[in-house]
Amino acid sequence: MSHKATIPIGPYHPLQEEPEFYKLVVDGEKVVDVDVRIGYNHRGIEKLSESKNFDQSIFLVERICGICSSSHPIACVQAIEEIAGIEVPERALYIRTITQELERLHSHLLWVGLAGHFLGYNTVFMWGWKYREPICDIMETVTGNRQSYGMMKVGGVRRDIDKEHIPYILERLDELLPKVDMVKGAVLDDPVLHARLKGIGVLTREAAIDYSALGPTARASGYDIDVRRDHPYAAYDRLKWNVITQNEGDVFAKAVVRILEIYESVSIIRQCLDRLPGGSIDANPKDIPPGEGVGVAEAPRGEVFHYVKSDGSNSPVRHKVRAPTYMNFPTFRETVIGQTVSDATIILAAIDPCYCCTERMIAVDDHDRTVLTPQDLIRLSQEKTLKMKDRIHKVC
């Protein structure tokens, strides 16, 4: 008789952001196969967009994700601007860049917090989420909203940045950096986290290319791609910044990439505010001619891809949306298989899939039956860290 057991995780739980259903096949502690079922949250946005006009579809795609609610609209307006050949005013490009980087800041801090929580580092969780708050305040100053910014429009942006607000924004960013240093130290200099995360859930460069992985997931595997540099949009080609890469491909490398990207984002926002050109923020386009357009933007998780086809009428004939997790998610086949159950949580969380879902787990054995709750799963992960902590302290 086989000793393999199937562990269903998901699809619904009040704790999780989005419903997904994982099926882990385990042999003892080891994961031997994994499958995922998505679609519980399928809202038919692509179909819906065909019934909206071009202005409305921007608001629609903004509601795809609460965290990337600036990347989707940017990719969408760029696709439409490509169809019509619209030149966007310089000032609007800079403002777009600022909202993009603010979004990346808050998203990466959010991820660091969650990852800390799963590993039993609740201080990191508290810090990450606490220091994310001022970013949301800056977002409110710039766009008027903490989330769902309503900032993008075809041909420019909807709101301008007031001159009086710039010192406030800079001050908040100055305050943020020492805090990020603290989080960085807590995560990257901790021997237990090194032991816990290094060599775990490795995605090789070849696999990253084969799966067309994106964003920090790809960059942590030495696959040096970044839409902001490679397919420059907004004002990225006018600024100086670095693409962060790591070669190890494990969970630790993904954490390093995200934390170091926070510094780059702060630097980009500062440069933008410093050089913010004057002038109009909107090209006021009138018609969208027939044609096809592709828009790409680098969301915190990777490239967002929008394809829009217009027949000259008021609304798109076809609007294809591809979010980065769509490409990053299937890589779990490479990273989770062969690892232990207690590591599965952090490996699945490492691609930052708008976080994974742990409704309940059932470990079915030959004779008895154990039910594991999501808290148990997190506890398993946290206990492993504790054990390692003990072992490391003994050695020291």
By CB under 8 A, tell whether 39 contacts another protein: yes
Binding mask 74-113 vs another protein (x if CB under 8 A, - otherwise)?
Answer: --------x-------------------------------
By CB under 8 A, tell whether 257 contacts another protein: no
Compute CA distances 108 → 154, 221, 348, 350, whole Å. 28, 18, 16, 11
Please report which residue ranges of the chain form alpha helices under DSSP H.
Answer: 45-49, 54-62, 71-84, 90-118, 122-130, 133-143, 165-188, 191-197, 205-210, 215-219, 227-230, 251-275, 324-328, 332-335, 341-350, 374-395
By CB under 8 A, tell whether 309 contacts another protein: yes
Output b/e per residue, 83-95; b: 16+ Cβ within 10 A: bbebebbbbbbbb
Binding mask 315-354 vs another protein (x if CB under 8 A, - otherwise)?
Answer: --xx-x-x---xx-xx------------------------
Q: How many residues sit close enough to another protein to count as binding (CB under 8 A)? A: 32
Query: Judged by CB under 8 A, which stretch of 167-175, 180-188, 279-287, 288-296 contacts another protein?
Result: 288-296
Nearer to another protein, 75 or 138 (CB): 75
Helix axes 374-395, 90-118, angle to 10 degrees: 80
By CB under 8 A, tell whether 225 contacts another protein: yes
Nearer to another protein, 64 or 372 (CB): 64
By CB under 8 A, tell whether 279 contacts another protein: no
Task: Among 211, 252, 332, 355, indicate the residue that binds another protein (CB under 8 A).
Answer: 211
Q: Determine whether 291 is exposed, middle or buried from the number of CB atoms within 10 Å of its CB (0-12, 13-18, 19+).
A: middle
For the bound state, the minimum distance from the C-beta of residue 9 to another protein, rounded and expressed in Å, comes to: 18
For the bound state, the minimum distance from the C-beta of residue 361 to another protein, rounded and expressed in Å, comes to: 22
By CB under 8 A, tell whether 177 contacts another protein: no
Nearer to another protein, 149 or 329 (CB): 329
Compute CA distances 255 → 30, 282, 352, whole Å. 24, 38, 10
By CB under 8 A, tell whether 314 contacts another protein: no
Residue 107 near residue 300 (C-beta atoms within 8 A): yes
Task: Among 86, 200, 294, 364, indicate the residue that binds another protein (CB under 8 A).
Answer: 294
Residues with Cβ within 8 Å of residue 87, at least 6 apart in sequence: 283
By CB under 8 A, tell whether 44 contacts another protein: yes
By CB under 8 A, tell whether 232 contacts another protein: yes
For the bound state, the minimum distance from the C-beta of residue 214 to another protein, rounded and expressed in Å, comes to: 9
Residues with Cβ within 8 Å of residue 34, at least 6 apart in sequence: 22, 23, 24, 25, 332, 333, 336, 337, 344
- Which DSSP category does 151 fall into? -
- DSSP for 321-345, please give it: EE-HHHHHGGGHHHHTTTSBHHHHH
By CB under 8 A, tell whether 291 contacts another protein: yes
User: What residue ranges bind another protein (CB under 8 A)?
Assistant: 38-39, 42, 44, 46-47, 82, 209-212, 225, 230-232, 291-294, 296, 303, 305, 307, 309, 317-318, 320, 322, 326-327, 329-330
